[in-house]
Amino acid sequence: MPSPGAMANRRLMVYIVGAIGILSIFFITFSRHGPTVSSNTPLAYAATPIHEVTVKKETLNGGAIMPKLGNETLKAELGRAAWKVLHTTMARFPDKPTEDESTALFSYIHLFARLYPCGECAGHFRKILEKFPPQVKSRSSAAVWACYVHNEVNFSLKKPKFDCDHIGDFYKCGCAGEEEEKGKTKEEEAAEKSPDLKIEREP
């Protein structure tokens, strides 16, 4: 059984990774130049309307922002928390997303990689993203892609293969929608676990 200290560290890592997601959305929403500060009211600022914000390709594909993380224990805790957030995100993504929703997930994944707190880990993950771009056409394609790149990371770190067959059970979030999932037939569940998907790899 994990010690109270280990459980506290695990919760802290989940909070940190969740904060990365919030910052990614904030980064997309507001201008890269930041708020305009009033000289009369130091705490007041003018936010850029969301319809005027454009995330450039260089912003999505830029290098890692954070410095190297030397603490191996924290690095491992962070990795587990990050995978939990990513896999749960894919499991909750719409089955038939709109173009806007697919674009949002694609942007989120790339910004998540850039803002990941472990700089060298972010650099390695960005190389994997270059070879295997995010698949965001459906929940199934996103979930299978995430599991595939998880194993690419594990392979590079000489870790055991991650079991993709039961990923839906492993990352249940306790959300209300999961009650509806229980009513699915075995054929529907099998189709979701083994979708006809080819991971696109760039030359």
Asked whether residue 203 is domain-assigned, the answer is no
pTM here is: 0.64
Residue 79 is assigned to a structural domain of this protein: yes
Residue 148 domain flag: yes
Q: 3-state class of 52 per DSSP?
A: helix
In sequence order, the 6+-apart residues with CB closer than 8 A to the CB of 95 are: 138, 139, 140
Rounded Cα distance, 71 and 9, in Å: 13
How many domains is the chain partitioned into structurally?
1
For position 102, which CATH number holds? 1.20.120.310
Calculate the average pLDDT of the chain: 75
CA distance 138 to 101: 10
DSSP state of 50: G
DSSP letter (8 states) at residue 157 = T
**Residue 189, in any domain of the structure:** yes
How long, in residues, is the chain? 203
Query: In terms of Cα–Cα distance, which of 123, 181, 110, 173 is closest to 153?
Result: 123
Q: Is the per-residue pLDDT at 33 higher than 50?
A: no
pLDDT at 165 (0 to 100): 80
Residue 39 lies in a domain: no
Domain of residue 176 covers 57-193
Residue 20 resides in a domain: no
Q: What letter does residue 51 receive in the DSSP assignment?
A: G
Q: What is the pLDDT of residue 22?
A: 57
Confidence label for 162 from pLDDT (cuts 50, 70 and 90) = confident
- What are φ and ψ of residue 130, in 5° steps? -65, -40
Q: Is residue 29 part of a domain?
A: no
3 belongs to a structural domain: no
Residue 59 and residue 123 in contact, taking contact as beta carbons nearer than 8 Å: no
